[in-house]
Amino acid sequence: MKDTHNISDYDTDRFHLTDRQAHCLGVMNEFAIGKYLGIDMMHTKPDVWVPFHVKEHFSLYKNQADILTNIECRRVNNPSNPIAIRQKDLNLNALVVQGYIDFSLINGEFQVGNQVELLGWSDVSADWSEAQTPSWSKTGTSRVVYDKRPMSDFPMPMVGAA
C-alpha cells in the first residue's frame, strides 16, 4: 500500500483514521483526480497510476508522482485547509491537486461519501517561494499554499500520450 498518509513530516497523532481507512480515502482521491484528467483509471499502466502495492515495495514508487509524471494528489479532512506541498513535489516539478471526501466515524463505523470534491491545485515550482511552513511540519520540508488555483485553470495533460 502507498504510505502517503504516513509521511515522516506529518504529526501522525493528529490523524484519527486507521492506516487502512486513510489508504482507502487516498486511493479514492487519486482515482477521482485521474478521472477528472480523462484517464481510464480502471485500466491504467503502472507508469500512469499505481493504485496499490505492498508495503515492502513502497521504496520502488516513493520518488514518483501519484499520477503520470508530475501530478500529486492530496486529500484533506477539511475543505478549508490549504494545499500541502513538499520538497519532493518541487523536485518533480509537480502540480498538486487537492481533494476532499466527506466521511465520518460514528461509533467506530467508518462511513464515506460517494463523491470527491476537487478544491484546487498548486503549481509547486511557482508557489514554493511564497508558501508558508506550517507548524505541523517536523522536518520543515513541507509548506502550505492558501491561494488555491481553480480547477478550471488546471493545465490538462494530453491523455493519449499517457
- Domain of residue 86: give its range: 4-161
pLDDT at 161: 47
Predicted local distance difference test score (pLDDT) of residue 3: 38
Quick check: helix, strand or coil at residue 34?
Answer: helix
**DSSP strand pairing (83-86 vs 142-145):** antiparallel
DSSP string, 64-119: S-SBTTTEEEEEESSTTSPEEEEHHHHHHT-EEEEEEEEEEEETTEEEEEEEEEEE
- More confident: 119 or 17: 119
The total number of structural domains in the chain stands at: 1
pLDDT for residue 144 is more than 60: yes
